[in-house]
Amino acid sequence: MPTDRTTDDGLLGAAARHSGSRCAALGLVGVLATGAGLLLPAALGRALDLLLAHAHAPATRWVLVCAALMLLLTVLDACETVLGGTLDARSTAFLRRRVTGHVLAAGPRVAVRFGAGDLVARLVGNAAQAGTGPGARAALAAALAGPVGAVAALAVLDPWLAAVFLTGAPLLALLLRALARDTSAAAAGYQRAQGRIADALAEAIDGARTIRAAGTADRDTARVLRPLPELSQAGRRMWRVQGRAAAQAVTVAPLLHLGVVAVAGLLLTRHRLSPGDVLAASRYAVLATGVGVLVGQLSGLARSRAAAARLGEVLAEPARAYGDRRLPPDGPGRLELRGVSARRGGRTVLDGLDLVVPGGTTLALVGRSGAGKSLLAALAGRLADPDAGEVLLDGVPLTALPRSVLRAEIAQAFDRPALLGATVEDTLALSAPGRAPSPARVREAARTARADDFVRRLPDGYATLCADAPHSGGEAQRLGLARAFAHGGRLLILDDALSSLDTITERQVTDVVFGPATAATRLVTAHRATTAARADRVAWLDGGRVRAVGTHRELWRLPEYRAVFGAGGEPTADARPGNGARSTGGEGPEGGR
């Protein structure tokens, strides 16, 4: 994928501005070190001339000057190391915060596009590489100042010395330009291969139980490591590029050095230079041909820019925008979808769908696997945005609402809830600052979700660390439900949030969800006939549209509807609304999202 250098440089520039004082200090230290390095050959030459002239007292003073310059160079080198390390750390932290915040703002589609493993690789490895960019830029300026200053010093000693060196300078410039270009391309390939390996590894870890059950560990190991040859090839290419540049520089630099020394010797025989000047010219020739330092700096900068390009791809994903409208204070929670279309993976899942959920009622979403139930639930909670159409809550488009209003008025629970937070209570009270429910409300919500009993049995109850709180899939779902109940709001969305509950617990929870005590509008994805039977209305999704809306009993008369649950007979008493027992023939397989 081609990279936008303007974006890459802008990202590195923002990181440099974030630590502007440290960048300036690092640049200043580098310039001072370069200046001291340029003064040292002149001081050594002067001391040598005085020693040859047997002027011991002045020579001693210049030797002390040389010693002071060496001490200064040592101190500046230590300062440069400390400043460079802290600048890299601050820049890396800045980039990680910025990209992480953007990922969270853009929503789940970023993970869908890049993959969880690749995102982690970008946030961890690529951000660290890009974080070295500001320091490399600051150090590069000082590294360039060294050769330029050395050439100027040669010109001061004698213009012929600078002229001899400048004959080979264009060739050195071409070598450095080729190095930067080739290193950037090789680094980009290396980082892409790393991302693919990380993404495949994350998938394998997520499906470890399936891999173990299927006995395909060797095959999946090979799948994860499939990009390894490409990674090796890109790594070898980087070494070849740097080795070739170093070899070419080693070929050119000694010739230039030898040319400068030869001309200096000739000028010495003509008494235009002193022995000390020849020593200084030799040292300045070494500084002027300091390609090794430039090669390292340019290679590091090229790698950081390639890493910044990968971060820029993430930042190029548009963040979700929010409005500033407010919901009517007495709104019942009426949910409406108008002409909603949504695509996933190049496939149209929902196509021009229209649906209305009256306020305070329960609507069950029913359909075969792939019908779009979970996608519709995500659109209703604005975890995703439709490609066309709009979703409204109490007459206000969700896109026009502030984030704070959305998250205060829409509560959601999922089939596999992420239990974030330090303790169990933190997990249940997870919310934006200032909106967290009270401890009393958290415990009441846990009792409603039938989670209070097993939470109290934990070593420290609600204060138990999540890492020390083992739980089954059903217990995790109950915690997710408790979190949704604790936050309340006018719309409650349950996306397969009851699938892992045992029969008795499911009945107890659905008594609350579908009962009159819950005033919120409820949208429930239903895979079981018993769940659909207890809802006020059922929306039957088929072919990307709502095929029919009605009560479960009304729709059960249709053979195609019964087939969704794997049933073909007439409705039994167990499938009628109000009866919590399981249908003898009306429960289809779970899944079918």
d(CA 91, CA 26) in angstroms, rounded, equals 14
pLDDT of residue 517: 62
Nearest-angstrom CA–CA distance, 25 and 87 = 10
Q: Which amino acid is residue 127, in one-letter code?
A: A
CA atoms of 17 and 489, how far apart (whole Å): 42
- Mean pLDDT of all residues belonging to the chain: 83
Same domain, 305 and 348: no
Quick one: which H or E segment has residue 444? helix 439-448
In the 8-state DSSP scheme, what is residue 264? H
Confidence of residue 568 (pLDDT cuts 50, 70, 90): low
Q: Do 525 and 463 sit in the same domain of this protein?
A: yes
As given in the structure block, the two tokens for residue 138 are 């600051």
Q: Are residues 227 and 347 in the same domain?
A: no
Degrees, nearest 5: CA angle 147-153-156: 150
**Gap between the Cα atoms of 331 and 360, Å rounded:** 10
Claim to verify: residue 479 and residue 421 sit in the same structural domain: yes
The verdict on 210 and 352 lying in the same domain is no
Is residue 330 a part of any domain in this protein? no
Domain match, 239 and 368 both: no
Looking at the fold, whether 280 and 366 belong to one and the same domain comes out as no
Domain shared by 490 and 438, yes or no: yes
Record the pTM: 0.75
Name beta bridge partners: 537. 363
C-alpha closest to that of 469 among 424, 515, 408? 424
Burial tier of 401 (Cβ tally within 10 Å: 0-12, 13-18, 19+): buried
- Which run of H or of E encompasses 47? helix 20-52
pLDDT of residue 58: 85
Phi-psi domain of 309 (left: phi exceeds 0; alpha: psi -120 through 50; beta: other): alpha
Residues 6+ apart with CB under 8 A from 130: 11, 12, 15, 91, 92, 95, 304, 305, 307, 308, 311
Could you tell me which of 370, 371, 397 has the C-alpha nearest to residue 386? 397
Tens-digit pLDDT profile for residues 326-346? 999 888 999 999 999 998 877
Q: Which domain holds residue 36?
A: 5-315
Q: Does the residue 587 lie in any domain?
A: no
Tell whether the model's pLDDT for residue 250 goes beyond 70.
no
pLDDT score recorded for residue 178: 72
pLDDT higher for 193 or 519? 193
Residue type, 314: V
- Final residue in a domain of this structure, among 258, 280, 315: 315
Q: How confident is the model at residue 9 (pLDDT cuts 50, 70, 90)?
A: low
pLDDT score recorded for residue 295: 67
70 and 32 part of one domain: yes
Integer Cα distance of 24 and 16 in angstroms: 9
- Measured CA to CA, the distance from residue 296 to residue 302 in angstroms comes to 10
In this prediction, residues 404-408 reach a mean pLDDT of 88
Specify the pLDDT at position 254: 74
The pLDDT assigned to 582 comes to 33
pLDDT attached to residue 336:
95
CATH number at residue 66: 1.20.1560.10
Spatial CA neighbour of 52 closest among 197, 268, 348:
268
Type and span of the H or E element at 548: strand 545-550
Q: Are residues 448 and 366 in the same domain?
A: yes
Q: What is the pLDDT of residue 586?
A: 35
Distances in whole angstroms, Cα of residue 492 to Cα of each of 487, 519, 521: 10, 10, 6
On whether residue 324 sits in a domain, the answer given is no
pLDDT at 556: 93
Q: Are residues 159 and 269 in the same domain?
A: yes
Q: In angstroms, rounded to a whole number, what is the distance separating the alpha carbons of residues 485 and 211?
A: 35
- Residue of 88 and 286 predicted with greater confidence: 88
Categorize the per-residue pLDDT at 194 as very low, low, confident or very high, splitting at 50, 70 and 90. Answer: confident
- Name the pLDDT band for 146 (thresholds 50, 70, 90): confident
Q: What is the DSSP string of 500-544?
A: TS-HHHHHHHHHHHSSTT--SEEEEE--SHHHHHHSSEEEEEETT
* pLDDT greater than 60 at residue 272: yes
Looking at the fold, whether 67 and 161 belong to one and the same domain comes out as yes
Question: If pLDDT is split at 50, 70 and 90, which confidence band does 271 have?
Answer: confident
Q: How many domains does the chain have?
A: 2
Query: What's the pLDDT tens digit per position in 19-66?
Result: 888 988 998 998 899 899 999 999 999 998 888 888 778 888 999 999
